């Protein structure tokens, strides 16, 4: 036995990098909303980057450790404490049997990630440990954590080599207005010039309708040429759907695999880390970039993760 | 193939669009292209998602960037006519029609001015093309149902429809793979598990295959349900004959 859930928080789920290969069968990918934060937590905790972590949303959980291990917390700052003492994020720390990790209150961002050295003892379903809430598979019985749940560790370690080095500056910085870079398409031709100008020129606000499936935005109406409907096609992570009413919805990890609304653009992968940390009331703008720029930014981010792994693993 | 479009769907996927309508001809092109892609050895392909009129390709830009990938995909298009497409499998799906399992069969019959037996006969006389899967794991978007038995959705959707329910919504027909809410007219139920996450092949149907329903009685239903529970049931299938109906 390893962790006991004293208080599950608002929405705490087990997630890894998602269930790849089953979208053709209608199965959502799921996985972490902020892949970069989860990767860093795993690197600091000396795990493979795609190890399953706990994704905590706004109000994080209270967890009692029943066995010594090391953990790392990244993403938004949800006010973590260990036995009442504040814990800094973005560093590996030791936890002892009997200690309690409590997230006290959200300070910055929306989602925090907890990586456990050696990983969690969660069965692999269709190639992944990610929780798919709608299909009720993966993670802990396909659901969010509940009070009293017990999750085992697979290969805990009471200490890590270079524990002191396993630390970087917290990455998420809140802003008064966020810029999300996008590549246009796949249906940018379904919008008028005015519609595209509105989308790229105006400020949008995150509404409370923001879950793991999608993030509904409020702001100026984006004008279609004719219709907001298409014959259903595939939907990617970060796709920005604009139904007939003209208000954008950013599609996220638990999105349906296919859909029948026009998609004006897609948030680039390098900016998923901002997207995942938005919360209701946040303001954002979209900035158009080329596909080359987007892929460059992603590969640069990956190179930085590799550099981090080698710097903490020396 | 001049009408094929490459659509940018972000930096880790793209969509190859073959047309702007729902047709068997377009679906056949998607199948041929999928086969060509699988045989091509193009590196970095992560997964593909066929839909009514396109194939979404997820790829790793750390292995292949957008432009070289599009160039290689264009190269495949030129040879599509020469691709040997093996005949599609037809999945044989047993259905217990009417009664408790199909509470709306009477209504569909009344609506189409037929007897329940005639509705069943029409529903079981077609091979339905699986254009794509989506909505929930294993939910098939089928084409080819006869307009004769087309029936509007329920005015008030049911809160819970049991997995295996076979329904009609407008001119569409399909099977609910998991318990879910829904407004389709339910005409029967299959004991076959379209979706079982613990099975080696979790989802039975695949885009590009066909489904043919056949009527069974309660005893046969119970027998198949027991085999499914034991994990020993093998769903019948046969290669589709050219121009099959």
Q: Does pLDDT of B244 surpass 70?
A: no
- Say whether pLDDT at A134 is over 90: no
Tokens of A4: 């006991």
CA distance A22 to chain B (A): 8
The residues near A104 (Cβ < 8 Å, ≥ 6 apart) are: A78, A79, A80, A81
> Considering only CA atoms, which of B166, B174, B171 is closest in space to residue B141?
B174
* A184 and B CB contact within 8 Å: yes
Give the per-residue pLDDT at A72. Answer: 98
What distance in Å separates the CA atoms of residue A102 and residue A59, rounded to the nearest whole number? 10
Could you say which of A26, A269, A294 has the minimum Cβ distance to residue B134? A26
**Predicted pLDDT at B86:** 87
Q: Do A23 and B50 touch (CB under 8 A)?
A: no
Q: Six-digit token pair at A282?
A: 């946040």
Q: End-to-end alpha-carbon separation of chain B, Å?
A: 28
How far, in Å, CA of B215 to CA of A35, rounded? 48
Contact B207 A24 (CB under 8 A): yes
Local confidence band at A47 (pLDDT 50, 70, 90 cut-offs): very high
Look at residue A127 in the predicted model and tell me its pLDDT.
95
Mean pLDDT score, B78-103? 92
B8–A contact, CB cutoff 8 A: yes
Tokens 């040879």, located at residue: B79
Q: Binning pLDDT at 50, 70 and 90, where does residue B3 land? A: confident
Cβ–Cβ < 8 Å for A272, A252: no
Domain with CATH 3.30.1360.40 in chain B: 5-82
- Which one of B48, B62, B139 has the shortest CB-CB distance to A26? B139
β A283-288/A178-184 pair status: parallel
pLDDT score, position B191: 98
CB contact under 8 A, A233 and B202: no
Cα–Cα dist A294/A291, whole Å? 5
Cβ of B63 under 8 Å from any chain A Cβ?
no
- The residues, any chain, with a CB within 8 Å of residue B233's CB and separated by 6 or more, are B192, B193, B224, B227
Query: Which residues are bridge partners to B186 per DSSP?
Result: B167
Report CB contact under 8 Å: B137, A238. no
Q: Which helix (H) or strand (E) holds B37?
A: helix B24-40
Q: How far is CA B174 from the centre of its chain?
A: 8
Chain A residues with CB under 8 Å of B135 CB are 26, 256, 258
Give the residue from B5, B6, B7, B9 with the most A CB atoms within 10 Å of its CB, the best one to mutate.
B9
- pLDDT the model gives residue B243: 65
Q: How confident is the model over A48-58, as pLDDT tens digits?
A: 999 999 999 99
pLDDT at B24 over 60: yes
Q: Which fold has domain B89-239?
A: Cyclophilin (2.40.100)
Q: Report the pLDDT value the prediction gives residue B2, as an integer from 0 to 100.
A: 58
* HSE-up of residue A163 (Cα within 13 Å, Cβ side): 12
| Distance, CA of A148 to CA of A201 (rounded, Å) | 49
**Would you say residue B79 has pLDDT above 90?**
no
Q: What is the mean pLDDT of chain B?
A: 94
Q: Is A183 on the interface with B (CB under 8 A)?
A: yes
CA distance B11 to chain A (A): 6
Q: Which residue has the tokens 């006010």?
A: A79
Measured over all CA atoms, what is the biggest interatomic distance in chain A, rounded to whole angstroms? 62
CB within 8 Å: A266 and B10:
yes
Q: How far is A138 from chain B (nearest CA, A)?
A: 9
**Which pLDDT does position B1 carry in this prediction?**
52
CA distance B60 to chain A (A): 10
**A211 within 8 A of A13, measured Cβ to Cβ:** no
Q: Give yes or no for B21 touching A (CB within 8 A).
A: yes
Superfamily of domain A178-302: Cyclophilin-like (2.40.100.10)
Q: Mark B75-100 as b/e (b = at least 16 C-beta within 10 Å).
A: ebbeebeeeeeeebbbbebbbbbbee
Q: For chain B, what percent of residues have pLDDT higher than 70?
A: 98
- The verdict on a CB contact (< 8 Å) between A302 and B139 is no
Beta bridge partners of A113: A55, A74
Q: What is the pLDDT of residues B140-184, one digit of tens each?
A: 999 999 999 999 999 888 999 999 999 999 988 999 999 888 899
Task: Please indicate whether, in this complex, the C-beta atoms of A298 and B7 are within 8 angstroms of each other.
Answer: no
**Pick among A258, A294, A304 to test the B interface (most B CBs inside 10 A):** A258
Task: Please indicate if any CB of chain A lies within 8 Å of the CB of B30.
Answer: no
Q: Is A24 on the interface with B (CB under 8 A)?
A: yes
Do residue A26 and residue B58 have CB atoms under 8 angstroms apart?
no
Partner B contacted by A22 (CB < 8 A): yes
Interior/surface letters B188-227, b for 16+ CB within 10 angstroms, e for the rest: bbbbbbbbbbeeeebbbbbbbbbbbbebbeeeebeebbee
Residue in chain A lying closest to B56 (CA): A234
Cα–Cα distance, B196 to A256 (Å, whole number): 19
**Nearest chain B CA: its distance from A314 CA (Å):** 25
CA of A273 vs chain B CAs: smallest distance (Å): 15
> Which part of chain B is CATH 2.40.100.10?
89-239
Q: Is A124 helix (H, G, I), strand (E, B) or coil?
A: coil
Rg, C-alpha atoms of chain B: 20
Report the residue of B7, B8, B11 to disrupt the A interface, i.e. the one with the largest count of A CBs within 10 Å.
Answer: B11
Distance, first Cα to last Cα, chain A:
31
Tell me: pLDDT of A314 over 60. Answer: no
Give the integer Cα–Cα distance in Å for A44 and A91: 6
User: CB B156: neighbour CB atoms within 10 A?
Assistant: 7
**Interchain contact A98–B (C-beta under 8 A):** no
- Which contiguous run of DSSP H or E holds residue A302? helix A291-312
Q: Which residues pair with A241 in a beta bridge?
A: A249, A263
Residue A119 has pLDDT above 90, yes or no: yes
Instruction: Compare CB distances from A258 to B8, B10, B132 and report the shortest one's residue.
Output: B132
Output the pLDDT for position B6: 98
Query: B139 to chain A: nearest residue by CA?
Result: A26
Specify which residues B129 forms β-bridges with: B143, B210
Write the residue in A20, A234, A269 that is nearest to B11 by C-beta: A269
Q: Give the per-residue pLDDT at A172.
A: 87
A137 contact B CB<8A = yes
Closest by CA position to A215, among listed A241, A194, A236:
A241
Q: Cβ B134–A257 below 8 Å, yes or no? A: yes
pLDDT exceeds 60 at position A128: yes
Which residue spans of chain A are classified as CATH 2.40.100.10?
Answer: 178-302
- Nearest-CA distance B58 → chain A (Å): 9
Asked if the model's pLDDT at residue A222 lies above 80, the reply is yes
pLDDT of residue B245: 55
B136 and B54 Cβ atoms separated by less than 8 Å = no
State the average pLDDT for chain A: 96
Under an 8 A CB cutoff, do B138 and A184 touch? no
Q: What sign does the dihedral A173-A174-A177-A181 (CA atoms) show? A: positive
Cβ separation A232–B137 shorter than 8 A = no
List the single residue in A27, A232, A295 with the smallest CB-CB distance to B51: A232
Average pLDDT value for residue range B107-111: 97
Cα–Cα nearest to B183, from B191, B192, B194, B174 = B174
Give the domain B5-82 fold: Gyrase A; domain 2 (3.30.1360)
Q: What is the pTM of this model?
A: 0.93
pLDDT band at B42 (very low <50, low <70, confident <90, very high): very high
């Amino acid at each position: 036995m390893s962790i006991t859930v004293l208080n599950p928080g608002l929405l705490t789920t087990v997630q890894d990098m998602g269930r790849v290969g089953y979208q053709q069968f209608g199965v959502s990918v799921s996985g972490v909303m902020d892949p970069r934060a989860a990767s860093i937590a795993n690197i600091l905790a000396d795990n493979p980057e795609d190890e399953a972590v706990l994704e905590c949303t706004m109000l994080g959980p209270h967890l009692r450790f029943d066995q010594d291990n090391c953990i790392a917390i990244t993403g938004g700052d949800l006010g973590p404490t260990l036995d009442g003492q504040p814990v800094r994020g973005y560093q590996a720390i030791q936890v002892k049997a009997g200690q309690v990790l409590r997230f006290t209150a959200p300070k910055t961002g929306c989602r925090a990630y907890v990586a456990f050295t050696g990983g969690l003892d969660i069965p692999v379903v269709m190639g992944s440990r990610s929780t798919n809430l709608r299909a009720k598979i993966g993670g802990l019985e396909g659901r969010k954590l509940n009070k009293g749940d017990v999750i085992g560790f697979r290969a805990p370690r009471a200490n890590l080599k270079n524990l002191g080095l396993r630390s970087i500056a917290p990455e998420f910085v809140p802003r008064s207005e966020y810029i999300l870079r996008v590549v246009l398409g796949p249906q940018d031709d379904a919008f008028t010039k005015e519609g595209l100008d509105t989308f790229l020129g105006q400020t949008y606000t995150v509404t409370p309708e923001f879950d793991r499936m999608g993030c509904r935005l409020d702001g100026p109406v984006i004008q279609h040429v004719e219709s907001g409907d298409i014959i259903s096609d595939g939907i990617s992570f970060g796709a920005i759907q604009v139904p007939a009413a003209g208000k954008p919805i950013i599609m996220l990890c638990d999105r349906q695999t296919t859909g029948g609304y026009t998609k004006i653009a897609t948030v680039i992968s390098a900016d998923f880390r901002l997207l995942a940390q938005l919360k209701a009331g946040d303001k954002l703008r979209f900035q158009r970039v080329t596909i080359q720029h987007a892929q460059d930014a992603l590969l640069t981010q990956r190179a930085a993760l590799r550099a981090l792994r080698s710097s903490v693993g020396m | 193939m001049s009408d094929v479009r490459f659509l940018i769907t972000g930096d880790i996927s793209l969509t190859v669009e073959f047309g702007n309508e729902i047709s068997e001809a377009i679906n056949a092109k998607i199948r041929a292209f999928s086969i060509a892609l699988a045989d091509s050895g193009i590196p970095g392909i992560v997964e593909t998602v066929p839909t009514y009129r396109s194939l979404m390709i997820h790829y790793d830009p750390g292995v292949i960037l957008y432009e070289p990938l599009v160039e290689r995909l264009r190269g495949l298009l030129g040879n599509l006519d020469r691709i040997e497409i093996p005949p599609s499998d037809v999945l044989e799906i047993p259905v217990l029609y009417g009664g408790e399992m199909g509470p709306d069969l009477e209504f569909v019959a009344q609506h189409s001015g037929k007897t329940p037996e005639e509705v069943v006969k029409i529903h079981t006389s077609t091979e339905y093309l699986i254009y794509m899967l989506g909505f929930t794991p294993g939910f098939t978007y089928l084409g080819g149902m006869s307009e004769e038995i087309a029936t509007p959705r329920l005015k008030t959707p049911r809160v819970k429809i049991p997995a295996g329910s076979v329904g009609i919504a407008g001119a569409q027909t399909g099977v609910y793979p998991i318990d879910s809410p829904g407004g389709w007219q339910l005409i029967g139920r299959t004991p076959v598990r379209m979706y079982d996450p613990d099975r080696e092949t979790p989802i039975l149907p695949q885009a590009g295959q066909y489904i043919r329903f056949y009527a069974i009685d309660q005893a046969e239903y119970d027998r198949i349900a027991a085999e499914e529970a034991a994990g020993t049931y093998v769903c019948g299938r046969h290669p589709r004959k050219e121009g099959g109906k």
